[in-house]
Structure 1
């Protein structure tokens, strides 16, 4: 038996002019739910990031600061009764005879690595920007040092710079030159780790700077060439100025990375010989874990000095970027 469905009844409404029209059906009694507030959606997206930053950045920094202000020993780590000493650990660090050489090595290591990594990376980026045959293949091969684990890269350089069986000394012998104690001489150990770190950091500069070059309009180079500007003139007048924002972030990231380099130095020289290649990163590890009687507070103090240095350069970069945006 078929069930007939009757359409909703429309009531006739009489207007003033005598005409009549059908009134709309009765409104639904149920109301639609209102959409969620955009503010709650924003907090929902921010919550995972906030928790991640709090657990893996803010809390470790707080613990490291607390560690540097107390006299922690192995026993106090277990019992939790480390006495508060204030800035005593920092005073001991500044009075330590290793402080001045470690500071000098950190500055030299960071400055030389940044300069050569940026210069070589920029030269390679400009070279590969010509889009010649096999450009993509060669560019991919240059990424190998960046993709390798640091322990593999450092171990490879340790073998290459070995005084007795290294390939570098073998090449020097073939050229009629005497061997060099790259890793065991106080005069050469810092140079050795600098060379290894430059080799590892060049691919990062190449990738970032090459991406920046791709954003420069090619029409600028064509117009400059029509005006008679040579390759060197086009580089200084077009490439280098327009690449300045990318260069700034490249140098900042390279600075933060180079300040905390530990793996390469520790695997190759362990900061020696006679602290000739000791930086703040390796010194902090030696104070906290390299002795039978570890000085956890002093090691944390040295680590905090690195954090302050990286933070200072980060704030300086933000200030420069803000000035450029306003100008």
Structure 2
């Protein structure tokens, strides 16, 4: 009797041991399937609202796509004709240069002033919260509204800026042609965009400063470190991940900017403020050549993607060396 019971117990144990590996083999597969099920809605959303428009835009750049296409559905492929026509257009090469100047100038101004304000407000004082809230207003106002207001301020004949400068004797009665001179208009657009982007940089960098341990500054103070050395050796290295986010997002939003330029100068005078964004708009919705407009749009996407990849890889390499 004891022998039979022992045999049965051994058989049951053997069966359980056989079933356990099978369950163990199924569990990783089941976990992987569950992970994909959770990610599937996000992937479907990305494919539908980002992947499809991107692929469609690439295909359109190789087609003769006109308003007639929307009625007939005919958009014959024309090879590289759209790309040749765009690259041969002098306006495209000028817009590349204007876009580079506008983007670099805006990022430098926004980041420098935003970082200075973030450092300033990291030292608590009375009404600091109220002043920070006031400085957020340019970021909260729609960009078109800000551009229209600045267009009135920068008006050569009746603008507040020229009136104020003339009152203190800095300019003549004629004033500065902020938006009417090809040599000044782009600079004016850069200054307005800096004013709009400062709050975003300040808020993100201020949040990053609050995450830096105070003990590091106390140790630097005990070591007799100067303010500039402390900023260079502690603040900037600790802010590096936040700086990456600020610069990448700032670049993405600045390089493709359209509404600000249209509301300020409409690309003029003499095409001096034409950027890749305004050229895309002009080709697609004014000249109704959607194929060439898609080419410029693809150039914008490529520039943004290359910048993001190179900057993130460089930052990751620096972070790895630091570790």
| 2:290 equivalent in structure 1 | 296
Which of 207, 211, 233 is 2:203 aligned to?
Answer: 207
**SS at structure 1 position matched to 2:294:** helix
Which of 267, 270, 274 is 2:266 aligned to?
Answer: 270
Contact 2:244/2:312, CA 8 A, preserved across alignment: no
Cα distance per residue 1:230-287 (max 9 Å; x no partner): 2122111211122122112211111111011101001110000110000000011001
**Aligned equivalents of 1:256 and 1:106: distance in 2?**
12
**Aligned equivalents of 2:279 and 2:230: distance in 1?**
45
Within-5 A mapping of 1:11-160: 37-160=30-153
Asked if 1:308 is matched to 2:297, the reply is: no
| 2:5 equivalent in structure 1 | none
**SS at structure 1 position matched to 2:90:** coil
Contact 2:154/2:161, CA 8 A, preserved across alignment: yes
Within-5 A mapping of 1:225-304: 225-291=221-287, 294-304=288-298
Task: In structure 1, list runs of 5 or more residues that go unmatched.
Answer: 1-13, 15-34
Asked if 1:323 is matched to 2:323, the reply is: no
**SS at structure 1 position matched to 2:77:** coil
**Aligned equivalents of 1:55 and 1:162: distance in 2?**
44
Cα distance per residue 1:75-128 (max 9 Å; x no partner): 123211111112211111110011221111000000000001000000000000
| 2:160 equivalent in structure 1 | 167
**Aligned equivalents of 1:254 and 1:246: distance in 2?**
12
The alignment's TM-score, normalised by the length of structure 1, stands at 0.86
**Aligned equivalents of 1:325 and 1:229: distance in 2?**
24
Which structure has more relative contact order (CA 8 Å, sep 6+)? It is 2
- Alpha-carbon offset, residue 213 of structure 1: 0.7
Asked if 1:196 is matched to 2:189, the reply is: no
| Greater helix proportion | 2
Larger radius of gyration: 1
| 1:7 equivalent in structure 2 | none
- Alpha-carbon offset, residue 325 of structure 1: 4.5
- How many residue pairs align between the two structures? 294
The alignment's TM-score, normalised by the length of structure 2, stands at 0.87
**Aligned equivalents of 1:282 and 1:90: distance in 2?**
17
| 1:19 equivalent in structure 2 | none
**Aligned equivalents of 2:236 and 2:316: distance in 1?**
20
CA RMSD of aligned residues (A): 1.9
**SS at structure 2 position matched to 1:74:** coil
